Structure 1
Amino acid sequence: MPPALFSRSPLALLLITLGFSGCVQLGPDFTPQQTPWIDHWNSPALEQASQQKAQPDTLQWWTIFNDSVLDQLIAEADARNPNLQIAGLRVLEARAALGIAQSGLYPQVQQATAESIYLDRNQSGGNLPRDAHAWQYGAGFNLGWELDFWGRFSRAIEASDATYFATQANYENALVLLRAQVADTYFALRTAQARLRIARENTQLQKRSYEITERLFNSGNSAELDLQQAKTQYLGTLSTVPELEALVLRTRNALAVLLGLPPGPIPYLVENQALIPLVDAAVLQDVPANLLLRRPDVRAAELLAAAQSARIGIAETDFYPSITLLGSIGWSATTLDGVSDNRDLVAGPSLTWNLFDHGRISNNVRVQDARLQQLIEAYRDSVLQAAREADDAATGLLKSLERERILREAALSAKRSTSLATAQYREGYSDFQRVLDAQRALFVQQDNYLITRGNAVSSLITLYKALGGGWHNNLPLIDPATREQMQQRTDWGDLLDDERAPDTNSLPDRASLND
């Protein structure tokens, strides 16, 4: 096309400029981070503590305990937990921020103006003054559109999009942590209640021994040493009851707060006197390495790095000129006779280029790049920590189960020893010290057994949490009452209509983060 055509056809110049706009994206395209070691990572403890089935249900792993109370507790926590509500609101915030970034692709300035001015002029000249009174009116529309020539706005959308997906992953991570914490606290409460029952039973047993020795001492058939030893042991065991009662109340209050309730009794939470169930292995839907990479917090770490990669491109656009299309339409008139209306049309491109920044732009790019590398290292560390947590939890489960089997036998032996020592003492074949020793060992072994059983269940819950189990939720991001309050306060448009928590499968694949 001959250059003379540009001067004769400004529209052609405008069309060509628009055609070239947005065709360049500065900055690096994000490359999903590889963790080569995880493909060959082997955890013997995890292999031993897990099993794979054809159709496992790791999305609702807590159902393996077959406890309807636990199911209800998790449902209540999903609906009312404050931290989960905050995570859902952050998703809505990121969704609105993405809308702000997307608006950059359209004209940034679209202003309508209107004015009305009253003129009162008094001129004194000669013998008679002359007065002039008039109104001046004006209206106009201004348009300014900075073209996305270097990818400033498309990179901003890319960063906001990755951040939005990261908030979704953080919401799912909040679900993983909440459900694990509810289950762990619930079984900790049941363990504390069982320990309290054992303490009270042993207190009653030792109290009867103390009363027997007291009667024997008063009748002169027993030494004071037996009386004082029995009393010491009874009072020592009795002193554990208030401590365990406080532990039960603290654990119950912690569970209530997780449900979004004030501290106090939970109506449907009835004491279950059965032992907490033991499960000797976690059911997994995939190999552990893949599960680790799909953990919501690991996904969020990678998505945050992708967002920061786009910000490098935004910073690099400052090296180049910004090309803006400007236009305005104006109309003005006055009430003075003989003055006609004025109509103005102004349009054309504008170029702004900061040539001398004294290193500000270069250093800003370096800042963004350093932040990207920090997030990449944070992602790698999150994968390492996830592997460590999974291996530690698997080891803890195996060792707790091993210890549980030993202590179960020890508790049974201690109970039998107490019965035998008491019978032999009554028949005069042994002294009272053996009775005291047997009763002391019984309480210790029973209490240790309950603690170890609780640790085994806690390790299994931690293992599911470490592998990212329990991230799915069909409930809305925010509860209906909060949604109604927000709608009354602010016009949210349709952003609150589609408010269900996103599926992890809907997040961008690792290979398409930069598509």
Structure 2
Amino acid sequence: MANKHLRAWTLLAAATLGGCVRLGPDFQSPRQDWIDHWDSQALDAASQQQPQPDRRQWWAQFEDPLLDRLISAADTNNSSLRIAALRILEARAQLGIASSGRYPQVQQGSADSLYLDRNQYDGAPELDSNAWQYSTGFAAGWELDFWGRYSRAIESADANYFAAQANYEDVLVLLRAQVAQTYYALRTAEARLGIARDNAKLQKRSLDITERLFNSGNSDELDLQQAKTQYLATLSSIPELETQVAQTRNALAVLVGQPPGSLPELSAETALVPLVDQALLDDVPANLLLRRPDVRAAELLVAAQSALIGVAEADLYPSISLLGSIGWSASSLDGSPQTVSLGGGPSLTWNLFDHGRLRNNVRVQDARLQQLIEAYQDRVRQAAREADDAATGLSKALERERILREASFSAKRSLTLANAQYREGYSDFQRVLDAQRALFAQQDGYLLARSAALSNLINLYRALGGGWYSSQPLLDPATHAQMSQRTDWGDLLDEQPARPVENAMPGNLDKPVNTPAPAAQADTP
């Protein structure tokens, strides 16, 4: 305990003579060395570096105007994105609260009036039986930031504010990828439904033929029952696919902020999903991983927690404040004096006996910091895994698509030959059934392979943080008007979304995040 007090007095003397001390660790990036030279053979094969007119809109590569409109509608109407935008405003207001620590913490004015009614007693001289007494005053108290408590709190709130922006961008990335995934899943389901209906018609014709042959005595019942079984099996897949189409359409409607059953424009066309064999990247994969919004958010949370250690450590040392007050009092009694009082001076308070509470709070904050460091490093590893998995999935899905495309052509040709040979009497009906079954399976598998390739391409863009930027305001006009009417927000509701990505790179956090954003400095309560 004596060493603790000696250290505190030494720091106090240094702070008094030389300025304020900032307790706690300055932020150090938790980035590991491997990420700086990380590469992936699968990613190299599935992508190429190429400057793009707008690198943030990867879906433009598909050249689908309807997808462009759906993503734009989701940006405007999706509830998850709106909630993320409101969390930016919440973090911005929290930053304003932390920034108020730069100024006197106590600024109180008071005014009192007291009515006095005095009783008369036997033998006492007569006095006024009632009077009013008035007083007013103002008191101020300013805890000096000797230990950096308030500057560290501002640093933490500042990092949390930028983390909220990064989380907004992460929601934007996930939303746009989900819209594209759902849109093309709908197109795939529609195409599979069309294939099932076409094959059902084809098998129905075979069933009709075998039924006529059976009725005329030119075929046995086995051919009829086999044809009927295959036709009904194919027919039974249609309701399931119709359900999938309806459910996927509803999911897409909700994503873009519409009620289920809407979006009639989706029925205007049912084009086959595009087949794109490579992702177009504008930077090396390692840099793209670090630019992912969720990775930046994780690093910013480390910065915010690092500053909270300094806030906790400041509680171990004396609180030094400047206090001042001015007061005036008077009474309605005749001849009563009016008084004016002034006071001011320093104040020192020190929690000497906390039984380990404050020291253990520092340990709590440090343990939380280490947890966030581990979470950040795991988030980077998971991001690299997601990118490598998506790249591998894209390459292998394209291989499968090429094989199944050729298999589909062969299956279609086999059915033609099997029908011809059956009509000429050179083969039995079983070969026709086998050819029909193979055609349906190969065509359906081909559509699924195309869908898997596109899905992996979208996952690759998402894994590399593509689609993080939006130029639209954080709040839609209706929400802006509603919140403005309910609460005085000043100019905070006009907050802009993301900064340019280069200014928001996690690498810029190699220095302490101790200066609020310009917008945050402009409106401190």
TM range (shorter): over 0.9
User: What amino acid is the match of 1:504?
Assistant: V
1:512 is matched with 511
Matches within 5 A, 1:300-339: 300-339=297-336
User: What amino acid is the match of 2:79?
Assistant: P
User: What amino acid is the match of 2:258?
Assistant: L
User: What amino acid is the match of 1:307?
Assistant: A
Q: CA RMSD in A?
A: 1.7
Distance 1:494 1:253 in 2: 37
Superimposed CA distance per residue, residues 368-394 of structure 1 (whole angstroms, 9 cap, x where no aligned partner): 000000000000001000000000000
1:56 Cα deviation from its structure 2 partner: 5.8
Tell me which moved more, 259-268 or 271-280: 271-280
CA contact (8 A) 2:475 2:493 kept: no
Matches within 5 A, 1:252-263: 252-263=249-260
Superimposed CA distance per residue, residues 126-153 of structure 1 (whole angstroms, 9 cap, x where no aligned partner): 2986552111011111111111111000
Q: 5+ unaligned residues in a row in structure 1: which ranges?
A: 1-15
CA contact (8 A) 1:122 1:131 kept: no
Matched, 1:175 2:146: no
1:234 is matched with 231
Cα distance change of structure 1 residues 158 and 208 upon mapping to structure 2, 3 Å threshold: same
Aligned residue pairs, count: 500
CA contact (8 A) 1:213 1:230 kept: yes
1:274 Cα deviation from its structure 2 partner: 3.0
Matched, 1:145 2:132: no
What SS class does the counterpart of residue 59 from structure 1 fall into?
A: coil
* Identity within the alignment, %: 69
Matched, 1:77 2:38: no
Matches within 5 A, 1:62-211: 62-126=59-123, 132-211=129-208
1:514 Cα deviation from its structure 2 partner: 4.2
Matches within 5 A, 1:403-482: 403-482=400-479
Match of 2:248 among 246, 251, 257: 251
Tell me which moved more, 383-392 or 266-275: 266-275
Match of 2:265 among 268, 283, 288: 268
2:523 is matched with none
CA contact (8 A) 1:21 1:148 kept: no
1:339 Cα deviation from its structure 2 partner: 0.9
What SS class does the counterpart of residue 131 from structure 2 fall into?
A: strand
Distance 2:125 2:328 in 1: 35
Q: 5+ unaligned residues in a row in structure 2: which ranges?
A: 1-12, 515-525
CA contact (8 A) 1:288 1:467 kept: yes
1:312 Cα deviation from its structure 2 partner: 0.1
CA contact (8 A) 2:173 2:462 kept: yes
CA contact (8 A) 2:39 2:285 kept: no
User: What amino acid is the match of 1:473?
Assistant: S
What SS class does the counterpart of residue 403 from structure 1 fall into?
A: helix
Distance 1:73 1:173 in 2: 18
2:517 is matched with none
Distance 1:121 1:17 in 2: 57
CA contact (8 A) 1:142 1:328 kept: yes
Tell me which moved more, 364-373 or 55-64: 55-64
1:419 Cα deviation from its structure 2 partner: 0.9
CA contact (8 A) 2:133 2:329 kept: yes
Distance 2:90 2:362 in 1: 27
Matched, 1:35 2:54: no
2:41 is matched with 44
CA contact (8 A) 1:109 1:145 kept: yes
Runs in 1 of length 4+ with deviation above 4 angstroms? 16-22, 127-131
1:82 Cα deviation from its structure 2 partner: 0.4
User: What amino acid is the match of 1:155?
Assistant: R
2:392 is matched with 395
CA contact (8 A) 1:196 1:241 kept: yes
2:294 is matched with 297
Distance 2:90 2:387 in 1: 32
What SS class does the counterpart of residue 21 from structure 2 fall into?
A: coil
User: What amino acid is the match of 2:185?
Assistant: A
1:213 is matched with 210
Distance 1:128 1:46 in 2: 102
CA contact (8 A) 2:474 2:495 kept: no
Superimposed CA distance per residue, residues 47-90 of structure 1 (whole angstroms, 9 cap, x where no aligned partner): 00010114464300000000000000000000110000001000
Cα distance change of structure 1 residues 17 and 144 upon mapping to structure 2, 3 Å threshold: farther
Cα distance change of structure 1 residues 287 and 127 upon mapping to structure 2, 3 Å threshold: closer
User: What amino acid is the match of 1:80?
Assistant: N
1:500 Cα deviation from its structure 2 partner: 3.5
1:8 is matched with none
1:4 is matched with none
User: What amino acid is the match of 1:78?
Assistant: D
1:38 Cα deviation from its structure 2 partner: 1.7
Distance 2:512 2:310 in 1: 15
